[in-house]
């Protein structure tokens, strides 16, 4: 897969999402459908956008007992999604079960890329220790979770770009790193703690970036997308 810019479609409903997509008429995009939009619009939205030629990152962060996650992953695979997520905190058996479900549910096309969420980019070192009661450092915890994900047979992890290089060094150079928390230099960080620019993410070793508000709330979404893509990949 080339180095994708994945657009986080964090809209309240289908109408708002498709109004945004009019700026990209005829263009094939990589769209992240998260909980808000999926819970409102359901599987039909994913199927329709796939038919229109978009790639779909279905980000539901599965986290439950292994058997439940396996069954859920099997259902997600039938939608033909290109990428999906589980929570690494669910453990190795749960993540392995997710892969089993994806394999069982994939009847045509390629197996979806499955990546584990290590720690959310809204999580700070202080929050992790005081609220989540994890004594190890944020970086050590993320790398440990990434190693567990690799043991479970996953393709990679969702992590901050700040941790991508450490994962490449300590887990595997080929382990796929998907990094949210991407902002242009001039943008607000909003509720994100560990934020970098596309250029910085590239230098740190990210394989894919997820960008939301820098594109979706821009006055000219198409121009913002092209600017981010150029910073991320260079001129094509």
Residues designated as active site = 61
Radius of gyration of the chain (CA): 17
Other beta carbons within 10 Å of 191: 9
| Separation CA 105–CA 97 (nearest Å) | 12
- 3-class secondary structure, 31: strand
Contact of 86 with 116, CB cutoff 8 Å: yes
Q: Which residues contact 123 (CB under 8 A, 6 or more apart)?
A: 132, 138, 193, 194
Contact of 139 with 125, CB cutoff 8 Å: no
Other beta carbons within 10 Å of 143: 21
Nearest CA to 224 among 206, 191, 200, 198?
A: 198
Contact of 154 with 95, CB cutoff 8 Å: yes
| Separation CA 169–CA 161 (nearest Å) | 13
| Separation CA 50–CA 89 (nearest Å) | 30
């Amino acid at each position: 897969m080339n180095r994708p810019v994945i657009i986080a479609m964090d809209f309240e409903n289908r109408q708002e999402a498709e109004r945004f997509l009019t700026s990209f008429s005829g263009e094939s995009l990589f769209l992240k459908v998260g909980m808000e939009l999926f819970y409102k619009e359901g599987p039909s939205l994913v199927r329709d956008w796939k038919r229109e030629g978009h790639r779909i990152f279905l980000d539901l962060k599965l986290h439950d007992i292994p058997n439940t996650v396996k069954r859920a992953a099997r259902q997600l695979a039938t939608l033909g999604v290109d990428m999906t997520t589980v929570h690494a905190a669910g453990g190795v058996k749960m993540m392995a079960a997710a892969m089993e479900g994806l394999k069982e549910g994939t009847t045509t096309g390629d197996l979806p890329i499955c990546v584990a969420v290590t720690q959310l980019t809204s999580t700070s070192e202080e929050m992790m220790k005081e609220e989540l009661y994890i004594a190890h450092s944020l970086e050590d915890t993320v790398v440990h979770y990434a190693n567990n994900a690799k043991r479970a047979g996953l393709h990679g992890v969702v992590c901050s770009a700040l941790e991508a290089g450490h994962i490449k060094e300590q887990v595997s150079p080929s382990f796929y790193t998907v990094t949210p928390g991407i902002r242009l230099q001039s943008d607000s960080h909003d509720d994100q703690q560990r934020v970098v620019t596309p250029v910085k993410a590239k230098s740190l070793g990210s394989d894919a970036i997820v960008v939301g508000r820098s594109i979706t709330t821009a006055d000219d979404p198409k121009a913002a997308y092209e600017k981010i893509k150029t910073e991320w990949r260079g001129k094509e």
